[in-house]
Amino acid sequence: MTGNREGSTRPTPTEPPEVTRVEIPVDTRAPGGTTNAYLVGGVLVDPAARTDALDAAVGVGDAVSVGDAGGTGVEGRDAGTPHAVDAETPHAIDAIAVTHVHPDHVGAVAAYAELTDAPVVAHADYPDRLADATGIEPDETVRDGDRIGETAVRAVETPGHAADHLAFAVASGGGGTGDGEVDDDATERRDLICGDLAVAEGSVVVGAPDGDLGEYLASLRRVRDADFDRLWPGHGPPIGDPAAACQRLIDHRLARERSVLGAIEGGARDVDAVLETAYEKDLSGVEDLARATVVAHLEKLLAERRIDEVWRERLDREDDC
């Protein structure tokens, strides 16, 4: 079976980067139980586990035949054909990067680094986190705005869900394709691989101690205002209206913050009481996440001096539990 080989076009170096999404089954509490790995502009992002589909997309292992790559799990261009490794292709990919080092995003960093020899890129402030999570010492580090290696993909610092969270921006089209097309900014498309900053439906966990709600909201506002055409989240389908999606997530957090403040004004004196009042729905199975979220809210309100300092002690007691 040859899949849709006829319809696929082999990218040439002058073609704009496209985004290939490969769904990876992982042990995650995210809806759907999968993490998205991406190939964009030669960068492999968030290889959560080694799978045949991702092997095919990257162009390594035995899975370079198109049939293996077809079907579910692969979106975007035909993932089986573009990067097949041969003697003239020293590296199937140009770099490996992660949006953050939570376990459901990093599982196969070491495997693909070994398979492709591609440099592994880490956030400049957190190289040790990547090393601890993957067993691989990063080859390069990046800060906000830096290019990933020699690629056209740029790092966008987006802390909040995790302190080391990065998104990856790439512009496609906009002329200069080598086909003699005129430059036309109107045709340029800007994509952002956004990790766990956003999801198409529901919300992402921003929980203490590593999650920071103030930073998370700032990151959402920044991406909302940056005029991206599409977001590619760490879990679930792409987001076609980034500004609306970011605003929805901001509104969701601010509504939750009002509930937390309301619970305190209503007499809640510990995290349990806030949890009970601020969440109406049944929390069985997710109570630890809800608790971490409430603590993150309380930490933000404390930092903004909007609740009494006595909450600092109460939160310190939480840490001892």
Please say which residue, 196 or 212, places its beta carbon nearer to Zn ion. Answer: 196
Question: What does each C-alpha distance from 133 to 102, 110, 111, 231 come to in angstroms?
Answer: 8, 10, 13, 25
d(CA 83, CA 91): 9
Map the footprint of Zn ion across residues 160-219, applying CB under 5 A: 196
Residue whose CB is less far from Zn ion, 46 or 191: 46
Kindly state the smallest distance separating residue 61's Cβ from Zn ion, in Å.
27
102 is a contact residue toward Zn ion (CB under 5 A):
yes
Please return the burial class of 214, using the count of CB atoms within 10 Å of its CB with bins 0-12, 13-18 and 19+: middle
Q: Is 261 exposed, middle or buried (0-12, 13-18, 19+ CB in 10 A)?
A: middle
The rounded distance, in Å, linking the Cα atoms of 14 and 11 is: 8
Q: Is 23 in the site for Zn ion (CB under 5 A)?
A: no
Q: Choose between 55 and 196: whose C-beta lies nearer to Zn ion.
A: 196
- The answer for residues whose C-beta is within 8 angstroms of residue 317's C-beta and 6 or more apart is none
3-state SS, residue 225: coil
77 binds Zn ion (CB under 5 A): no
- Shortest gap between Cβ of 164 and Zn ion (angstroms)? 10
Residue with the closest Cβ to Zn ion?
102
Could you tell me the smallest distance in angstroms from the CB atom of residue 99 to Zn ion? 8
Q: Which is nearer to Zn ion, 46 or 257 (CB)?
A: 46
For tokens 């077809």, the residue is 70
- On whether the CB atoms of residues 131 and 139 are closer than 8 A, the answer is no
Stretch that binds Zn ion, among 29-37, 67-75, 98-106, 269-277 (CB under 5 A): 98-106
Q: Which is nearer to Zn ion, 102 or 123 (CB)?
A: 102
> Total number of residues binding Zn ion (CB under 5 A)?
2
**Which residues lie near Zn ion (CB under 5 A)?**
102, 196
